[in-house]
């Protein structure tokens, strides 16, 4: 459910909320529509610029997407936008959208605290996997910052952004999930509740709990939070992404 041009259409001020800052109407509408589909139960506020950020005060802001809009990462305009966001929503991760794959821009953005650097050349399924990673507490950047041999994007947890701190292959998680467990896991990484997962996957609440129990057993963890923490650097297998 989105809030646009001052029209209040919300599920309540306590609903998880995302902000989409995009100056172009078509792109803004497309992003909101996509996010509403992927994050059921969320409210989205779309705006042309950060000048409208105060519209979201008092809401549970979980994600902010911001279009670079042709600016340089080091521009005073972008820094001003980031400062405005930090002042109001310091805990919300920021996903930056760029129309260029410039490696220096992506590197600088991550150094500035951006949690996701998304380019318009990314396939939609990879972008969505990256978004789930950001929501799970990780960091996402596209090729060429990190790639596999086949050229797909690399997803990094915060500590893995520094190669010197990157864990060894043998230390990484290797768990085999069934296709349905993979679906449940993807929704879990989005922050979805059991009820939302059941609705999106057409499952009963009992079946969702069963899948979660199987996932936790395979990962040798005790709760949902630990599941997300363990998988913070691993995108959904159905999207073909994994840490090398």
Per-residue pLDDT of the chain (244 residues; tens, 9 = 90+): 555 544 334 455 678 899 999 999 999 999 999 999 888 889 999 999 999 999 999 999 999 999 998 888 889 999 999 999 999 999 899 999 998 887 888 888 888 889 899 988 888 888 888 888 888 777 887 754 443 333 334 444 444 444 343 333 333 344 567 878 888 888 777 777 888 888 888 888 888 888 888 888 887 777 776 776 666 543 333 333 322 2
| Cβ atoms 47, 55 nearer than 8 A | yes
| Cβ atoms 65, 18 nearer than 8 A | yes
pTM of the entire predicted model: 0.58
* Residues 139, 96: Cα–Cα separation, whole Å: 12
For tokens 């840490």, name the residue: 243
| Cβ atoms 130, 122 nearer than 8 A | yes
Token pair listed for 44: 């989205």
């Amino acid at each position: 459910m989105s809030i646009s041009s001052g029209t209040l259409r919300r599920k309540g001020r306590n609903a998880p909320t995302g902000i989409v800052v995009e100056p172009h109407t078509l792109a803004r509408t497309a992003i909101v529509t996509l996010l509403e589909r992927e994050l059921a139960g969320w409210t989205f506020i779309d705006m042309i610029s950060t000048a409208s950020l105060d519209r979201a005060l008092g809401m549970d802001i979980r994600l902010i997407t911001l279009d670079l809009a042709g600016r340089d990462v080091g521009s005073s305009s972008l820094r001003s936008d980031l400062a405005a966001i930090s002042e109001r929503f310091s805990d919300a991760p920021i996903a930056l959208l760029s129309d260029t794959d410039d490696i220096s821009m992506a590197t600088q953005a991550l150094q500035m605290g951006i949690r996701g650097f998304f380019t318009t050349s990314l396939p939609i399924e990879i972008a969505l996997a990256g978004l789930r990673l950001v929501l799970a507490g990780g960091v996402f950047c596209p090729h060429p910052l990190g790639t596999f041999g086949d050229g797909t994007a690399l997803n990094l947890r915060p500590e893995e952004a520094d190669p010197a701190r990157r864990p060894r292959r043998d230390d990484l998680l290797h768990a085999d999930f069934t296709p349905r467990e993979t679906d449940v896991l993807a929704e879990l990484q989005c922050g979805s509740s059991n009820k939302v997962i059941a609705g999106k996957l057409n499952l009963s609440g009992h079946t969702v709990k069963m899948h979660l129990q199987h996932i936790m057993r395979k990962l040798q963890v005790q709760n949902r939070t630990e599941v997300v923490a363990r998988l913070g650097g691993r995108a959904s297998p159905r999207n073909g992404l994994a840490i090398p």
